Structure formats: C-alpha cells, structure tokens
Chain A
Amino acid sequence: MKFAHLIWCNLKRKKLRTFLTLLSILVAFVLFGMLMAIKQALSGGVQLAGADRLMVRDKVSIIQFLPVSYKARMERIPGVALATHQTWFGGVYQDPKNFFMQNPVIPGEFLEMHPEFILPPEQKKAWLQTRTGAIVGRKTADRFHWKIGGKVPIKSAIFPKDGGDGVWVFDIVGIFEGREKGTDTTPMFFRYDYFDEARSSWAKGQVGWYTIRVQDPAKAAEIAKRVDQEFANSSSETKTEPEGAFLQGWASQICNITLIVSSILGAVFFTMLLVSGNTMSQSVRERTGELGVQKAIGFTNAQIVSLVLAESCLLTTLGAVLGLGLAWMLTSRGDPTGGLLPLFYLPVPDLFIGLGISLVLGVATGFFPALGAMRLRVADALRRM
C-alpha cells in the first residue's frame, strides 16, 4: 500500500494520454457489458431451463400445430409425470410495437409445470374461476400500468377471435413474479378453454407444443425417444428434446450468439491490448532514468516489475470498473427493444468475468515493459536521465 501513491503519480504523469487510454478501455468494457446482456437475453432461458422438462414440438417445425389429443397419450407413457401444452398467440396490445408473449395454457397444470412463476394463491384461485382471466408477468404489468381487475384488449394476427373485430379482451386476475432474477416476467398466460372455444374453427383442437415433466431427469433422453416413437408415422410426428436444448435451438434461429460475442470481444480486447500496451511501453520508456534512480537507491528488480505491473493493472481495472459500471447502469434500464429481449440484463458473474479480463489485460500489457524495466542496467539507465 505504501507504493500506491507512487503508482498513482506515475499513472497521472501524462494526464491526456492516460485519460484517452482509460476512455478506450472504458468503451471496450461498456461494449463487453452490453454484449453480455444481449447474450443473456438470447440464451438466458437455456440456463434456467428445467432439467426435468422436455419440449415436444412438431417434427417439421415449431410453427406446425400438434393435436390436443396427444396430451392423454403422452401422460400414459411410463416415466411421464405431467404433460401440458402452450400455443403461440402472437398478439399485440393497442399498437404493433407493444409486442410480448401471450400463450393460452391450462392454468393448474401450467403453474404446476412452471414453479419459476410465483403467483399468490388468491390470484391463482381467481384465475381458475374466471374463463376470460389472464395472468401477466410483473415487467409487462409495470410496462403498461396494468392492475388486477383491469380489462386488456389483445389483437392476434394468428388467431382472430371468432366474430366481432377479432380483438380478445382478457381480465387481469393475477400478476406473477419470477423466482430468480433471470426468470422472464414479460409473458401473459390465459386459459386454453376460453381460447379454444372462441377462436376460429380452422384451428380448434390444435396446440403449439407440449411440455413434459419426467419423473427421473436421468431418464429424460430415453423418455424423449419413447414420446417420438409413440407418434411416429402419424400425421403429426414429434420431436422431443430437453427444454434447454429447445430454447438453445430457438436462440440459434436468431444467431450463434456465443460465436458473435466471442468474436467481437476478441477483436475489441486484442485492440485494447495494443492500445494499453503502447501506453505502458511509452510510459516506461520515458522514465528509464527514473527507474535507474529507483534501482540505485535500492528497489529490487522484483519491486520494479511489481510497480510496472501494478500500474498497468490499475489502468485497465479502473477502465473496466468505470465501463462495467456504465454498462450496468445502461442495462438496468431493461429491455431496450420494447419486448424482443425480455431477459436483457447484465448478470453479476459477468461483472466478475469482466474484472478478471481487465486483470489479465493489465498483466499482458505490463509484461513486456516490466521485463524491459527489470533488465535495465542501473549505470546505463542513469546515463539516460
């Protein structure tokens, strides 16, 4: 600690150069934070997927429907504890930009299948008693200022309501919270019986996909195979996979986010390595004589190396802390797309990963200047003063 002042003073030696380097590191870490938030948004559901849940969809495409009659057949398969279905409703509230997920479900089964959604008991009771009832996640409720007891009109491009203007009106009977921070609280769920009765006749008895809970997660692969065998050679063959893989596949339809994030960050941090490395090299080269003096008065090579590395690590860590702080502030405002990235936030572990990267960057940029300072012969250095 007694050397802290010396390190800090050396960093302030060329204020403009240090400021510009710091700014470039800051920008790099803001970018890191934003990309991590996007990655979280696109793949966060995969991490939270239930290990005991399988997703069953049409073998050809998720947009193909499956018969509602499959439910009973699935529940008869050994190892299946519960099967329930959802259907992509694709509605908007008032304006096309107010898009979010709304799915018809069977309330009791749905809540049993998804314990990650927390709904107070009295609200659950109200939902079971209200055919037009819907529950909505906290984020969307806050976004549109919806309250329990309110009526909300939703217009679906896929399922216009039979008769009238095609607009569905739901009674908000519950607002659910997420059990974990990453739980998506943007969707709305309403009753399948109301939906199936009121939708156009062309799609009655059809659902989007099934979710199965298996009794033993270790046998999930085996059960998935049995499910697909059950519906083989039928008009709607199925593809069954773990929920995590299903969500991963869903995210992969958009892009290979991990590859994109890694590529961008690789390029950014490599550039940072050059920028910071150049700053440190210049800084050390400029004070060759001073390093000679420090060595003359008794600083050991190890101390000189430590001082240079501490300086480079301080520079990169300071930039990282400021950059990650700014990224945290920006991402804490929530989904910037208005509904497309409901899980958009910067996870705390990524903050620590960022700090770790900054330390690696600090050591890497300070390594060669430190090595040069260490190898400096005192008598030669003093001559350059």
Chain B
Amino acid sequence: MSESQTTDGALVRVERVEKVFHRGSEDIHVLSDLSLEVPAREFLALMGPSGSGKSTLLNLIGGLDRPTKGTVTVGGERVDELSDRELAHWRARHVGFIFQLYNLMPVLNAEQNVELPLLLTHLSKAERREHVRAALDVVGLSNRAKHFPRTLSGGEQQRVGIARGIVTDPTILLCDEPTGDLDRKAGDGILDLLQALNREHGKTIIMVTHDPHASKRAARTVYLDKGQLGNEPLQ
C-alpha cells in the first residue's frame, strides 16, 4: 500500500459508517453515519469521552472489525470487503498497532516481541534481526533488547510496543490511548517519539486519546461523541 491514496488524496476514507453491536435483544448504535478522511502523513488525534466509539472507529480503520453499514477504504483498498484471511495479511503488511496496555508477550524479551510481526514475512533470520535492531534504535531501547517486559518500566514497555508497531514499516500507525497508562513524563517521551515518527519518517498516525495534552501533539484533532464526529468538543 505504501503511501497509495484515494483519488482525492486521502489515505484513509471512512464513509457513512454505522456500527451496531447486538447485546441480547438490544441493539447498541456506537457509530452512526460517520465519515472521516485522513490524508497520508497526517498525525490525527481522535478525542472523545469513554464509550463514544473512538476505539471502535480505530478498529474499523485497522481492519479488526467490520462496519454494519458504510465503507472503510485505506490506501485505496476496501478494508470492509476483505475476508478474515485477507484482513490478517493486510494488517500484517500495512498497519502498526500501539495499545494502551502495551500488550507485549510476557514470555518473550523485548527484541523477540518486536520480531513477532516479522515472523509473518519472508525475511531471513539475519534480516529480521537487522530490522529489529533498527526499530529498537528508533525508540532508543537497543540496550534493553534482551529484557523481558516485567523488567521494563511502563514507558519502556510502550517503546517496545511502538518498535513492534513500526518494525514492518507500515504506512499507518493506529494508537489506542498510547499514554493512557503512563505518567506525564513517560507519556511525553512517547508523544515525542510518535511526533518524530510522523515528521521524520512520514508515518500516518491516528491516535485515540481523551487527554487534551496528548492531542495537542497531533496536527489535527477530531472529536467523537455519541457516534458523531466534530471538529470541536460537543457540549
């Protein structure tokens, strides 16, 4: 996909998306007739209160879930039409995920965690090692490569998570509350890193957050509430 965009220049295009969850006999409308465009190389913050549908929208863009209605196009590819298998391959090639709770594998050390997405590629062991080293260099954790998650601080674990997210050189990085579990200082370090990835490496980043301090680092912020998007927080 690298950098391929839709005809009007948007890398991500969400059109008239509706997402309904079924809980028993009850239908829960999380997203309603929502549209969004994200140009390539943009750093977008997606804000909103808990339960507003931020993570659901991120999951739809990242191909982790499918919309009930509407279309999701990323890099010119209709993500909502891909089969489970195609989606898995698509995610492996094009999307880097960064989670609030880092979601590292506790049985693997830092470099093994970073290597995980590369196991799905055809790279040789030496090439994988080289990519892992480069990714850990970018996040400044080369000296902690052999450490297991339990021996790393929260900030360090999130850096490993980011290294894992960028190691396959995806075009889009999807961050779900990346600083939500960190103190201010560690959180700032992570935001610096994301900014650098956007500015210096040209990564398109969509970051879900409810922290205004974090959203200020993004080039653009959109607000989501009750399944609707706006450019200002809804009152």
Q: Give Cα distance in the complex from A289 to B88, angstroms.
A: 17
CB-CB contacts below 8 Å: B108-143 with A: 108, 112, 116-117, 119-120, 125
Q: Give Cα distance in the complex from A290 to B101, angstroms.
A: 12
Q: Give Cα distance in the complex from A5 to B97, angstroms.
A: 23
Residue of B nearest to A5 (CB): B112
Select B89's contact among A294, A296, A298, beta carbons within 8 Å. A298
Chain A min CB distance to B218 (Å): 22
Q: Give Cα distance in the complex from A298 to B170, angstroms.
A: 12
Chain B min CB distance to A42 (Å): 47
Q: Count the A-B residue pairs with Cβ separation under 8 angstroms: how many?
A: 69
Select B65's contact among A5, A289, A293, A379, beta carbons within 8 Å. A379
Select B119's contact among A3, A10, A296, A300, beta carbons within 8 Å. A3
Select B92's contact among A3, A13, A292, A297, beta carbons within 8 Å. A297
| A218-238 interface bits toward B, Cβ cutoff 8 Å, 1 = contact, 0 = none | 000000000000000000000
User: Are the CB atoms of A13 and B107 closer together than 8 Å?
Assistant: yes
User: Are the CB atoms of B97 and A294 closer together than 8 Å?
Assistant: no
A348 contacts partner chain B, Cβ-Cβ < 8 Å: no
CB-CB contacts below 8 Å: A280-306 with B: 289-290, 292-303
A128 contacts partner chain B, Cβ-Cβ < 8 Å: no
Residue of A nearest to B128 (CB): A2
Interface band, chain A: 20 to 34
User: Are the CB atoms of B108 and A300 closer together than 8 Å?
Assistant: no
Interface band, chain B: 20 to 34
B108 CB contacts on chain A under 8 angstroms: 6, 9
User: Are the CB atoms of B97 and A297 closer together than 8 Å?
Assistant: yes
Q: Give Cα distance in the complex from A127 to B103, angstroms.
A: 81
Residue of B nearest to A302 (CB): B85
A378 contacts partner chain B, Cβ-Cβ < 8 Å: yes
Residue of A nearest to B60 (CB): A379
Q: Give Cα distance in the complex from A296 to B59, angstroms.
A: 10
User: Are the CB atoms of B116 and A378 closer together than 8 Å?
Assistant: no
User: Are the CB atoms of B103 and A301 closer together than 8 Å?
Assistant: no
A295 CB contacts on chain B under 8 angstroms: 88
A12 contacts partner chain B, Cβ-Cβ < 8 Å: yes
User: Are the CB atoms of A12 and B107 closer together than 8 Å?
Assistant: yes
Chain A min CB distance to B14 (Å): 16
User: Are the CB atoms of A298 and B99 closer together than 8 Å?
Assistant: no
Name, among A2, A290, A293, A298, the residue most crowded by chain B CB atoms within 10 Å (CB to CB). Answer: A298
A119 contacts partner chain B, Cβ-Cβ < 8 Å: no
Chain A min CB distance to B64 (Å): 4
- A382-B99, A385-B99 known; A297 and B107 CB under 8 Å? no
Chain B min CB distance to A79 (Å): 68
Q: Give Cα distance in the complex from A13 to B107, angstroms.
A: 6
- A9-B108, A293-B99, A385-B103 known; A298 and B120 CB under 8 Å? yes
B203 contacts partner chain A, Cβ-Cβ < 8 Å: no
Q: Give Cα distance in the complex from A380 to B88, angstroms.
A: 16
A298 CB contacts on chain B under 8 angstroms: 88-89, 91-93, 117, 120
User: Are the CB atoms of B107 and A296 closer together than 8 Å?
Assistant: no
- A9-B107, A290-B105, A379-B59 known; A296 and B64 CB under 8 Å? yes
| A9-22 interface bits toward B, Cβ cutoff 8 Å, 1 = contact, 0 = none | 11011000000000
User: Are the CB atoms of A301 and B112 closer together than 8 Å?
Assistant: no
User: Are the CB atoms of B99 and A294 closer together than 8 Å?
Assistant: no
Select A297's contact among B65, B112, B164, beta carbons within 8 Å. B164
- A290-B105, A385-B101 known; A296 and B84 CB under 8 Å? no
User: Are the CB atoms of B103 and A293 closer together than 8 Å?
Assistant: yes
User: Are the CB atoms of B125 and A2 closer together than 8 Å?
Assistant: yes
User: Are the CB atoms of A296 and B62 closer together than 8 Å?
Assistant: yes
User: Are the CB atoms of A297 and B116 closer together than 8 Å?
Assistant: yes
User: Are the CB atoms of B105 and A293 closer together than 8 Å?
Assistant: yes
Residue of A nearest to B89 (CB): A298
User: Are the CB atoms of B84 and A297 closer together than 8 Å?
Assistant: no
User: Are the CB atoms of A301 and B88 closer together than 8 Å?
Assistant: yes
Chain B min CB distance to A291 (Å): 10
B120 CB contacts on chain A under 8 angstroms: 297-299, 303
Chain B min CB distance to A21 (Å): 17
Chain B min CB distance to A102 (Å): 63
Q: Give Cα distance in the complex from A23 to B89, angstroms.
A: 39
User: Are the CB atoms of A378 and B64 closer together than 8 Å?
Assistant: yes
B59 CB contacts on chain A under 8 angstroms: 378-379
A6 CB contacts on chain B under 8 angstroms: 108, 116, 119
User: Are the CB atoms of A290 and B91 closer together than 8 Å?
Assistant: no
Chain A min CB distance to B127 (Å): 12
Q: Give Cα distance in the complex from A9 to B65, angstroms.
A: 29
Chain B min CB distance to A376 (Å): 11
> Which residues from chain A sit less than 8 Å from chain B, CB to CB?
2-3, 5-6, 9-10, 12-13, 289-290, 292-303, 377-379, 382, 385
Q: Which 9 A-B pairs have the closest CB atoms?
A: A298-B92, A9-B107, A300-B88, A378-B64, A293-B103, A297-B117, A298-B91, A298-B120, A379-B65
14 A-B pairs whose Cβ atoms sit less than 8 Å apart in the complex: A5-B112, A9-B105, A10-B107, A295-B88, A296-B97, A297-B92, A297-B117, A299-B88, A300-B84, A300-B85, A301-B84, A379-B56, A382-B99, A385-B99
